[in-house]
Each structure stands twice: as structure tokens, then as C-alpha cells.
Structure 1
Amino acid sequence: MGIFEFVANNIYYTVPIPVYVAVLVVLLCQVFRRIFISRRPSIMESTPLAHKTSDLSHYILKSDSCPALQVTPDTTYSWRDKPQEVPREIKPGKYFLTMNIRKLDPNDYIIFDERFLSEYRERQAIIENVGPGKIFVADPSDGGALDLCEETLVVTVDFLVTRYPSMFRKTERGVFCIDAGEEYDLVTRPWSRHPLEITCLLSGEDHILIRCCDDGTLRVAAVGLVYSLNIDWRSFIGKELGSIHKDAHVPFYESALQKSVDRYFQKLPPDKLISRANWLTQVGPELRNDNFPDKYLELVSTLPGNTITPETIVNDLYIRVERQAMRKLPSTNGVVFKFRVYATNIWDLEQEEGIPRRFADHIRGLPEPILRQKHCLECADCILKAMDFMAEQQEKEKFMNSYD
């Protein structure tokens, strides 16, 4: 008699009855849990066609602050005393394609500096001029897209009133931005402002909200892009993240990174924050700017009497950096991809110790497709001349100071 046949014939003797009971209880708990969750209303239920007070306001105004994150309040924080610190996550040497992400301290999820109020007003002006309908867009075919927008607002407000009580405070109907002197209504429906508009204004950052689909893909569900170039982002709504990178001609993404990125964000826990930095080049200091050097040179080359060359364009060249932060939303299971934009004139890099040399070595290690994607292929040689010059000046000054 085989072992399996013996166990089958003597199952009632070999397995105690309490084990059957325990298994049955576990199965019943799982069934009831699934039924309960499927019928439970969202804490951010929205009714765009009728005025009402939703559960969102109760969640923001009554809940414990930042339940998923360990955030330390900074009661004396003053953005006026904080100089702008641009991330320079540049690696000299040979280029290696990686996600290049790192763990982010929850206290640094949103940061402010001396440009807070000026950028806040600038964002307001851009929104009024361009129109919020072209900047803040949610997928109309995705019934949960608005929930993603609302939960993003929840976690943003929750963080701000906890981390920066000297700048933001809760009110009976929402949140008050103390330095701007403005209160945002988070109670009345339909929304007087798109929830992503409030999020982008208060945080000073642009947002892309991504749906983690059951088939393992990531799809863009909503965008709030104030500073992110003067193009129509509505065509990106509903598309797979991989398809967007493909349309944008991001080198090597589809072949080397897409599966890893999709899998990583599907498994990302809500209490883990990550960050990375990205850079490219632009002409002029405006943050809402699509004057890329290669396209700009191509455009002005057709103008009569044009004297702009790759050499002369360097004086007007700015390094555009995105400080990116990502997290998983605890309720809707979407991904928040947000970023703050900085623009630094290339010659101002001389004020940053060691950066010109690192940038020069970094650019020399980049393959041609990456230089093209960063819009600096046409003027890369001129950029290197400027970087090398600044690096030599810094090194001479350091050498002279060592003898003082």
C-alpha cells in the first residue's frame, strides 16, 4: 500500500478534527473579507453632478496625521530661510542603464525653499492663463481616476499639515495656506477646483497618477502638469507607461527597464517612499519651457540673418532638473509620480564645488541616444568646453587656497 493511499484511508485518524475546523474558519474569514471590501464605499467617493459633503473631508479633518508614514513635525520651519538646493545625482564615467532610485526620508516627501511663494503665484498665473482643463486631466473612462486624484490630495494635505504646521493648517472645510492667505474647500461637491490643482499648488510639484492594472501593466490615469512643458498631455491619459516612454523615444526603456519598472511599482508598499533625479537641457530659465537646444537650433537656423550657433547658445543654456518622488497610495493602490522642477544657468554651476568636473565626466560617458534624449547632442561639445573651463577655474582656485 502506497503512502498516499494509506493517508487517504486513515485521514480521520491521522489529522485531528481541530485542524479541519481551523482551515474552515480561515476560509470563511477570507470569503467574508472579500465580500466586505468589495461592498465598502470609498473614503473618497465623489459625485460630480451633485453638491454634497463627502467622506473625504471627514478623513482629512478627523484622521490621525500621516498614518502610513513616520513624519516629524517641524514647528519652526521657515521656507524664507531655506536656500534652493538642486539635486545633482550625476555619476561620472561609463553610462549604465538603471532605474537609479533610492529610499526617500518621509520627512522629505515634500520640501520647500525660498522660492515657495513666488513659484506658488507663478503656478496660479500659468493655470489662469492656460486654463485648468488643459493642465489637470483625469481619464473619463476610468471610474476610479477621480478617486486617485482625491486620495493624492488626502495624503498631500495630511503630510503638509503634519510636517509644516507653520505653513498649513486644517480648517472646518479644508486646509489653509498661511503664507498665501488662501483656504481650499475640500468639502463641497462638485469640486470648485480639480483636486490635482489643489495638490499641485500646495505642494509646488507636478503630478502623474498611475493605475496599477490587474494585468500587471501601469496606465496613466490622471495628470497635473503645470511646469511640464507647453504640450497637450491629454493624449497620454489611459496609455501604458511603457507606451509613453516608447512614444517619447526614451532609449533602451522597452528592452531593458519596462518589465522591471512595472513589477517594481506593482509590489511597492505604501509606507516606502522612493526618489530619483533626472536632467536635460533647455534654452532660457522658464520652467514651462519646451525650447530644447537641438530643436531650438533647428528652428532658428531657418531664420534670415540668424547668428545663433551651438557655441553662442551655451550662454542661454539651462540645466533642467526634476526632483522626482514616488509612492503607492494605500487605498486606491495607484502610484503617485511627482516632481519639482529646477532650472540653473550652465555658468552658475561654477558656484557648486566639484559639479562642473562631475558633469563633464558624466556627459563624456553618455551614449549618443541618451545625449539626444536629453536634447544636448547638437551642442554637447560646447557644453563640455564650458564645463571643463569652469572645472579648471575651480581647481586652480582650490590649489591657490591650499597655499594660503
Structure 2
Amino acid sequence: MYLDTIWHWPPMWPTLFCCISLLSSFVLLFSTWGKAIYSTTAPKPQSTDSTHEDDYPPVEPLPDFDWKTTEPIKIRPFNPKYNLTMSIQQTTVNELIEMDKNYLDRIMLRRKLMAEFPNTVLASEDSVKPAVDELYTWLVGTYLPTRYPRMFEVRPSAGGISPVLRNLITGEDLSMSPGETPRETLKTLGGLVDDDFLFLLPSEDGDSFTLKGFVTCFPNGFNTSKKLNMKLRDIHKPVPSYKEKLEKSMDRYFAKLKPGRFVKRANPVPLLSMTHADMQKARVRVERQFLHRLPRSKAIVFSFKTLLYTLPEIKEEGLGDALADAIDGLNDGNAPGFHFYKRAAVWGASAKAYLQS
């Protein structure tokens, strides 16, 4: 799925974006082992009016998962010829949220961005509240404490009246219930997991899907706030060849996607996060994208985790030529406009010279 238009963050954004890789090298000093109060294996999910465990596929626990020693996943979607396709793969609910050693640094960065640019990275319409509440309730009540019991656990609140989700990494307690407004809930969600979320509801006229809420701290060259209340096809108008190659198939796929089915893709377009010639500081950006439909509200949730890789890292893996070919490949395939759209004319020559040196 492509949600791209040409847009630039405020002046301080490139600095913050590059800080991600620097922050990840700091030693993460605190982590607490917790034992869920309801079970010795996985916390008992909390029943609410908006969601029940049986609405979702079962989540496989990772009882020995150590986030501090887990490297970020490596995705290398380098193709010598770029073709605009959906390129989706079937997957399971277990892959929806990936954790790694950068978790704490990224969460702190996300919270900083939400505080400094709240009207850019957060937005919602009242109509999206059932969908946002549904996802939040399931994530905090079932998914996170089940999948990652060494990071999150359900425990009694300080007053003992109702349970809370304890974030064992930050030491914070979160309400199991969503906030009064969808924006409030999205802000909490955005500071809890290192994924961006966009909620699309069926359009009122029955034609396509419309973006009604989001928390996006790391969008790829576009201002999500300008996309609110736009249909899927209108969001993608600036994307080269989208109307000819993907518009109809995307609308059909969204309409037919059933609850309980999870699909993923990697954004296969190489993009450097810097436009200057310092290749040591440049990053290759890859998005790990997920799509699924919520079982109760029937909303479509598009989520993505942003991964950054250094060019020296790519070269050390012996993939310098492959990435250089992929940069040239933006001119080939069924959507040659992507070479200009991704500004490869600005950074492509420098990147290729370094990768092939």
C-alpha cells in the first residue's frame, strides 16, 4: 500500500530521524520481570463490550523473549526492476507487532514527536472511535501481555478496583479501557508500540474506504493530516501509475478482506532518508506493512513499522550492487515515474557510487 506525496517534516525532523540509529546504541538499563496474575503462561484477556478474545485468532506467547538482545528484523526488498504491485504475503496475527532492542528509544522518540507535532501525527473523526477502541482493548488486554509477557503484564491497579497493563520496560501502568476520545486513545497507542496505525472505514456512499483516524510518527514523505477524510484512491493520487495499475484491485481487495486474515508487505522502493552526500549518515528506509480488518467494527487497519539501515551495513552484507541496481530499477518496470517521485535524481548517483566503490 502506498500513501506517498512529496512533503517535508519541520526543520528539526531530519535530525530526529537520524537520531534513531544513534539512540539505539545506548545501553538500555532497566527491564523488569513480571508474572501475570491470572495465569502462569499467558494473561487472561479482559472482556469488554467492544471486543472478546474469540473475535481474534489465538496469539502465541513468547515466554523467553528478551527485547534487549533482539536485533531489528532485516528486510532487503531490492529488485533490479521496480513494478508497482500489491506484493502482499499471507501471515499470522503473531507477526503484527515486532519488538527489538530499539523499543525504548523509539518509544521515547515517538512521544517526543507527538508532543511537538500533535496536529501532524495525530488525528481522528468521532466515527472512528469504535474501531480505535476495539484495537486498543485487544492489544492491551490480550495481544501484548500474551505475546510478550516479559515486557507487559496485566495486574491489579493501585486501588485494586480494576486491572491495568503494566509496561515492564517503562514501569508505567496503562488503563485497560480506551480514552474518552479516539485521539486520546491513539496517543496512548502511539506511545506504547513502535508501529504507526491508520484506520479506514467504509465510505458513506459505499464506494471505497476513507481514512478516519491515525497515529503516524514516521510517515514516508507525506503529511498524514492532509489525508484525513480522503478515500483510498484520492490518498494515492500523487503516486505514479497508481490509478492505472492498482486502484481497482486495491478497492476490491479491501472490500473482500475478512476479519482474522492478516497480510503483510515490505515497501519495495529504496529511499535514502538524507539528501546530502554523507553516505555514512544516510539511511535506507524500509516499511514493514500490515493490513487486517477488525472483527467488530469492520474497519481496515493499515499499520507499518519503519526500519532504517546504514549503507555500510548494506555493503558489509554484500548487497551494495543489489541496492545500486534497485535504484536504477526505479526508472524501469511498469511505473517509471517512481524515480522522480522518490527524488532518486537527488541522492541516487551519490548512493550508487558509494555502494559500488
- The bucket for the TM-score relative to the shorter chain is 0.7 to 0.9
Structure 1 segment 13-52 matched on structure 2, within 5 A: none
Per the alignment, residue 68 of structure 1 pairs with: 56
**What is the distance in 2 between the residues matched to 1:200 and 1:187?**
15
Per the alignment, residue 322 of structure 2 pairs with: 358
1:149 to 113, 132, 136: 132
**What is the distance in 2 between the residues matched to 1:376 and 1:188?**
42
**What is the distance in 1 between the residues matched to 2:113 and 2:183?**
15
Give the deviation of 1:61 after TM superposition. 11
Structure 1 segment 356-395 matched on structure 2, within 5 A: 356-367=320-331, 368-389=336-357
What is the TM-score of this pair, normalised by structure 1? 0.68
Give the deviation of 1:186 after TM superposition. 3.6
Distance 1:362 1:62, change over 3 A: closer
2:243 to 254, 258, 263: 254
Q: Which amino acid aligns with 2:352?
A: L
Per the alignment, residue 394 of structure 1 pairs with: none
Given that 2:63 and 2:148 are in contact with CA atoms closer than 8 Å, whether structure 1 keeps it comes out as yes
Give the deviation of 1:251 after TM superposition. 0.9
**What is the distance in 1 between the residues matched to 2:225 and 2:51?**
35
Q: Which amino acid aligns with 2:108?
A: R
Matched, 1:109 2:96: yes
Per the alignment, residue 323 of structure 1 pairs with: 288
1:345 to 288, 305, 310: 310
**What is the distance in 1 between the residues matched to 2:241 and 2:178?**
46
Given that 1:152 and 1:199 are in contact with CA atoms closer than 8 Å, whether structure 2 keeps it comes out as no
What is the TM-score of this pair, normalised by structure 2? 0.76
- Report the secondary structure of 1:72's partner residue: coil
Per the alignment, residue 177 of structure 1 pairs with: 167
Distance 1:193 1:216, change over 3 A: closer
Larger Rg: 1
Give the deviation of 1:283 after TM superposition. 4.2
2:123 to 132, 137, 152: 137
Give the deviation of 1:216 after TM superposition. 3.4
**What is the distance in 2 between the residues matched to 1:270 and 1:192?**
21
Give the deviation of 1:136 after TM superposition. 1.9
**What is the distance in 1 between the residues matched to 2:234 and 2:182?**
33
Give the deviation of 1:97 after TM superposition. 2.1
Q: Which amino acid aligns with 2:65?
A: Y
Per the alignment, residue 27 of structure 2 pairs with: none
**What is the distance in 1 between the residues matched to 2:153 and 2:183?**
19
Per the alignment, residue 77 of structure 1 pairs with: 65
- Report the secondary structure of 1:162's partner residue: helix
Q: Which amino acid aligns with 1:151?
A: E
Cα RMSD (Å)? 2.6
Q: Which amino acid aligns with 1:331?
A: R
Deviations 1:23-54 (A, max 9, x none): xxxxxxxxxxxxxxxxxxxxxxxxxxxxxxxx
- Report the secondary structure of 2:139's partner residue: helix
Distance 1:376 1:122, change over 3 A: same
Q: Which amino acid aligns with 2:129?
A: L
Give the deviation of 1:168 after TM superposition. 1.2
**What is the distance in 2 between the residues matched to 1:350 and 1:58?**
50
Per the alignment, residue 88 of structure 1 pairs with: 76
Give the deviation of 1:328 after TM superposition. 0.7
Matched, 1:162 2:178: no
Distance 1:57 1:188, change over 3 A: farther
Q: How many residues align?
A: 300
Higher relative contact order (CA 8 A, sep 6+): 2
Given that 1:120 and 1:204 are in contact with CA atoms closer than 8 Å, whether structure 2 keeps it comes out as yes
**What is the distance in 2 between the residues matched to 1:257 and 1:272?**
21
Gaps of 5+ in 2: 1-44, 156-161
